[in-house]
Amino acid sequence: MKKITAFIFSLFLCVMLMPANAQINWGLRGGLNVSKLNINDFKNQSATGWFVGPTTEFTLPIIGLGFDASLLYSRINSEVANETLKFNYLSIPLNLKFKLMIPIAQPFIYAGPEYNVKLGTSSDRKLENILGRDAGMKGSEWSCNIGAGIDLLSRLQVYAAYNFGFTDIVENRNSKQSIWRMGAVVIF
């Protein structure tokens, strides 16, 4: 009985001390957006944009579970009816992340919500010309990230992700954005 009690106490102590060894990292995230604005009844094509901003990551070292959060300036371009539309967003992704904690190269997967706030666009007039006056841009949108990558030497992360919109980004239209992202994070 004493051995079982000692084992349970040791296990409890290990679990309680784990957050004390948690790794908190800061870095800079940047990369490429390949996005498509899906609006019914229009010919839509993918277009390339970019994103950059600070990021933080919190990981429990033994089990590899953690989260990351970023504050990104994101330029999202889309082709609608042969017009290039350029949208500027402040993107705030918050992802649950799981890393395989092996030396040198640590593969990881992640998923989580992202909140995007429109900062402005040079395409409001173009959008009104294409869709009509009742089709203005919404001020924000919710989406979801799913991705995978590899952490090299705990200093460089390279990843690919898919982001799909939950909410419409254009008033009075079925208009969701889908984005493929390829990026890197440099950890300081």
> Does 90 score more than 70 pLDDT?
yes
Tokens of 20: 């004390």
> The dihedral of CA 59, 75, 112, 163: what is its sign?
negative
pLDDT band at 23, cuts 50/70/90? Answer: confident
Quick check: 154 and 188 in contact, CB under 8 A? no
Break the chain into its structural domains and give their ranges: 21-187
Residues in the chain: 188
The CATH architecture assigned to 21-187 reads: Beta Barrel (2.40)
Rounded to a whole number, what is the distance in angstroms from the first to the last CA of the chain?
A: 48
Contact status, residue 174 vs residue 168, Cβ threshold 8 Å: yes
Q: Taking the model in full, what pTM does it have?
A: 0.80
* Average pLDDT over every residue of 63-79: 91
Kindly report the average pLDDT of the chain as a whole number. 83
- State pLDDT tens for residues 124-135: 677 777 776 666
Q: What is the pLDDT of residues 143-182, one digit of tens each?
A: 999 999 999 988 999 999 999 988 887 777 777 888 999 9
